[in-house]
Structure formats: structure tokens, C-alpha cells
Amino acid sequence: MHASDIFAKAFENLRIGVLLLEKATGQILEANPAFLRLCGRGRAEVVGRIFWRPPFIDDAAAGAEVFEHLRAGGLVENAELPIKTGDGRRLLLEVSGTDLSGGVVQVEVRDVTARAGVRMAERTEARRSLATRVGIEFTETRRVLQAAGEMLANCAGRQSALPELDEIRKAADGADAMARDLLAYGGCSALEAVPMQLNAAIENTRPALEQVLGRDTQLVADLGGDVAPVMADAAQVRQILLKLAANSAEAMEHGGKFHIATRNAPADDAILGRAGDSGSYVILEAGDEGPGIDDQSWNNLFEPFSTTRKGQRGLGLAAVYGIVRQMGGRLWADSEPGKGASFRIYLPRAQAESAASTAERAERRDPATILIMEQNEGLRTVLTNILRKRGYRVLAAHAPPEALEMAKTQGPPDLLISEPAPDLVAGVASLQPQLRTLLLNGQSDRAGVATLNKPFELETLLGKVRELLQACSG
């Protein structure tokens, strides 16, 4: 066998994608089978096309930058570029290239979408944590604005004497709405997932949806007749639908159709399979006939303050993401320019319970009483909601005297979560000898006392709570 035959055979059998490009233009001269499989296209669709721009590289500017570097004789190693496959999937490629001389460039590509997904998940969790903290601060801002407005109204004697009070109320309402969306994105909405009929929730929301969509947009519902009950919060499902409808109404400036569909997710669902998920779900799908989502918006679709809507604050889709994840669901988006956008939400079936649900039920069998003393109203509300959702009996106070009075009148707690307040700790401990204490921003080396510094992750706090209560029961 001649050397040329050996090299040709090796080119065909390589497991990584390899391209030979014309150096002057970036035109594909040859592609091996591994690349054709990766991009989901036949050889006739590939050879002769420019690699560095759509329909291959999805980011033309980034592709042009790498191409110019290669044309100048530079070596490219592990550059990450997005690609759109023949069947519409978006992948992230790791691209390396070198000049072979003779006007030809060799490019090697690897699919690193999974690795990028891990990085994205880490960034998303960091943003959710930040959103939670900012949401708490906005809640406190709302409280201050509201209190200031009430004081001014009392001083004025009558509302009409101070027209500026309306602006204060609007600012307070805006801060409150912002806080709710941020907390939803952070996974801290006050919700309780219970068995519910998804179709009934959609029908109950229909009047509000039609109002949001307006007269020029038609609501088209295709609700499956055999849809299984789901584990969800009806109020939060309503919020999801209204936020998606608002996005679609904004996208379809001249009207159109807003589609809602429900069906049971099949066992071989392609999206779930791609995500490695084998759970049982019901699909809620919502889509429109608008212009679709551009590449810049797509890359940051579910991030807070990144918006597809003109003049909006960009929290709608971020809040939808947080709510869906908090209910144990999955969220998938799809869009093509000029063909609208659709969002597919997977909600867990009522009979499919996660390990987290099992843990929550175990906590509910023997609910402990937790007393929270926290001056920040926003943080106090979030902690109360989260702990009650986990099945605990929660008492919440804004100051040590109120907390001690609650312990005396409503029963001594098993656990005290408090800012440093020695008199409060001592007073509650006199009522409950087995008291466990979690100090926020405090220090202690006493038995039965743990510390946690702000800001903290909610999962870290829940872990501390479980650890302290288990020690108490043991």
C-alpha cells in the first residue's frame, strides 16, 4: 500500500473531525466522515462551503477572527466556536488549526458541548446565588419605600396633597416585582409543589393570557386529553404562562398566534435523552410566530437582565428558569430566525418523586420547630418560606424581645437561627435545655451552637439545619 493510500485511510478513520480548507478563502476542500457525523450533514452539503461562517460556525465574527489568525500564518489551539448542525442542534466545537503550506489549512474539531454545559451550570448557579442576595436587598428597599410613603401620607393629611406619593408607590411596587423575579430565578419563590391537573391550570389562566396577548394575538391551545397529573404549584405555572405570553406579545408587534400545547413526554424523548434524564414528565410547550431569537440573545437567554424584549428589564425568562427548576422540571428553548420561538417545559409527573421529595417527607413526619430572629425582612421571609416548604414549623421575629416572647407563648423551639444576641440565646435555652443554635455572622465554640456567615448559600444553611436537628434528636 502506498503512503498516500495509508494517509487517505487514516484521514477517513480518524475519530476527530478534520477539515482541509483553502487558506485564501476558508472554503472546505475536504472533510472526513467524523466531521460529517458531527455536523449532521452530507459531503455534498459541506465541500465547497465556507467553514468560518453560517451555516457552519454560528458566530461569524468569532469565526472570522480565528480564520484571519490562520491566514496570517498563526497557530490556533483549542479555540471554542459555536456550530449549528444540519438537524438544528447547537454545539460548541474546540477548533485547532495549522498551515500545511501550499495554500491549504488543516483544521481539527472536537465536540466540547458537554464541558461547556458544566461551565454554564456553574456560572448559572453563581448568578442564581447573586440574584437571591440582590432580591433580598430589593425586598428591603421596597419595605423602606413603602414605610416612607406611609409616613409622608400621614404628614400630608390627605393623599392628594402630595402627588409625589404615587411615584413612591410605583417605585415600591417596581422594587417588589423585581425582588419576586430575582428570587424566582434564584430558586427561592414561595411555592409548594402538589399534584395538580395542568390543563385545568391553563384554562383558569386563559382570560389573563388573552388580556396580556391583546386583541391582535390569537391564543391557540392544544391540550392533550390524557395528560397525567404533575407535581407543580398552580400559581407559579400561571406566572410562567403569563411571562412567556408577554414575551411573545412583545415579539409579534403586528399580531399572530401564541400556541400552548400539553402532552405526556414519551419514554424515548430526544431532549430528555440528550440530557441523560430518564424521569417521567409532562410537557408544557408555548411558542409564537415572531421573528425568533437572535444569536446574541440566545447565548444569554436565561440570564437575569439579558432580554429579548425592547425596553424591558430582562427578568421574565430568568424567573421562568428559576421557577421550573425549583419545581423539579426541565426547560428547553428552540428558535429559528423568522420562524418564532418555542419553550418546552418538562414538569414531573405526580407519581414520580425525587430523592429531595423523599427527604422532605422524612422531615415532615416529625416536624421540628425553628425560631428565626433576623432584622432583614427580605432574608427573614425567604428563610421562613424555604424552611416551611421543607416541612418545619417556623416562627419568625425581627428583634430579640419579639423572638423570646414567641418562644414563651408558642412553644420553645428545637432550633434557634439568629443574629448574635446572647440574651436571646440564654432566654430561649432556659425554656428548651436541648436547644440547638445557628448563629448568622457570629462566633462560638460551645456545644450545640453552629455558625454561618452571610452571605450564604441556602443549601448550606439547610445542611446546617439538618445537622443540628439530627444531633438534637440523637
Give the position of cell 495554500.
103
Query: 401 is written with which cell numbers?
Result: 424581645
Report CA torsion sign: 311, 315, 317, 320: negative
DSSP string, 245-289: HHHHHHH-TT-EEEEEEEEEPPTT-HHHHHTT----EEEEEEEE-
Return all residues near 463 (Cβ < 8 A) that are at least 6 apart. none
Q: What is the pLDDT of residues 265-314, one digit of tens each?
A: 888 887 776 555 656 899 999 999 888 776 556 555 655 555 554 445 45
pLDDT score, position 317: 77
Return all residues near 238 (Cβ < 8 A) that are at least 6 apart. 201, 204, 205, 208
Alpha-carbon distance of 404 to 375, in angstroms, equals: 14
Alpha-carbon distance of 157 to 4, in angstroms, equals: 95
- Is residue 132 a contact partner of residue 125, using CB atoms and an 8 Å limit? no
Q: Report in angstroms the alpha-carbon separations of 128 from 98, 177, 186.
A: 40, 17, 4
Alpha-carbon distance of 90 to 8, in angstroms, equals: 30
Query: 330 is written with which cell numbers?
Result: 426541565
Instruction: Please report, as a single letter, which amino acid is at residue 246.
Output: A
Q: Report in angstroms the alpha-carbon separations of 220 from 202, 248, 249, 252, 260.
A: 12, 13, 13, 15, 6
Alpha-carbon distance of 54 to 96, in angstroms, equals: 19
Query: 205 is written with which cell numbers?
Result: 389562566
- Is residue 244 a contact partner of residue 301, using CB atoms and an 8 Å limit? no
pLDDT score, position 29: 92
What's the angle, vertex CA 217, arms to CA 215 and CA 218, rounded to 5?
Answer: 100
Return all residues near 391 (Cβ < 8 A) that are at least 6 apart. 360, 361, 363, 364, 367
Query: 141 is written with which cell numbers?
Result: 428597599
Task: Tell me the backbone φ, ψ of residue 146, rounded to 5 degrees.
Answer: -65, -45
Alpha-carbon distance of 222 to 219, in angstroms, equals: 10
pLDDT score, position 134: 65
Alpha-carbon distance of 264 to 349, in angstroms, equals: 9
Give the SS3 label for residue 123: helix
In the chain, which stretches have pLDDT less than 50?
A: 159, 309-311, 313, 352-365
- Is residue 179 a contact partner of residue 145, using CB atoms and an 8 Å limit? no
111 backbone φψ class: left, alpha, beta (φ>0; ψ -120 to 50): beta
End-to-end CA distance of the chain, in Å? 76
Alpha-carbon distance of 432 to 428, in angstroms, equals: 6
pLDDT score, position 137: 65
Alpha-carbon distance of 211 to 287, in angstroms, equals: 17
Alpha-carbon distance of 176 to 159, in angstroms, equals: 22
Q: Report in angstroms the alpha-carbon separations of 135 from 138, 148, 323, 397.
A: 5, 20, 15, 20
Instruction: For residue 138, give the nearest of 171, 97, 102 by alpha carbon.
Output: 171
DSSP string, 194-211: EEE-HHHHHHHHHHHHHH
pLDDT score, position 361: 43
pLDDT score, position 471: 67
Q: What is the pLDDT of residues 398-445, one digit of tens each?
A: 889 999 999 998 888 999 999 888 899 999 999 988 899 998 876 666
pLDDT score, position 303: 58
Give the position of cell 413526619.
365
Task: Tell me the backbone φ, ψ of residue 309, rounded to 5 degrees.
Answer: -110, 135
Instruction: For residue 207, give the nearest of 173, 241, 250 by alpha carbon.
Output: 241
Alpha-carbon distance of 87 to 111, in angstroms, equals: 16
Count the residues in the chain.
Answer: 474
- Is residue 46 a contact partner of residue 29, using CB atoms and an 8 Å limit? no
Q: ω into residue 82 within 30 of 0, thus cis?
A: no
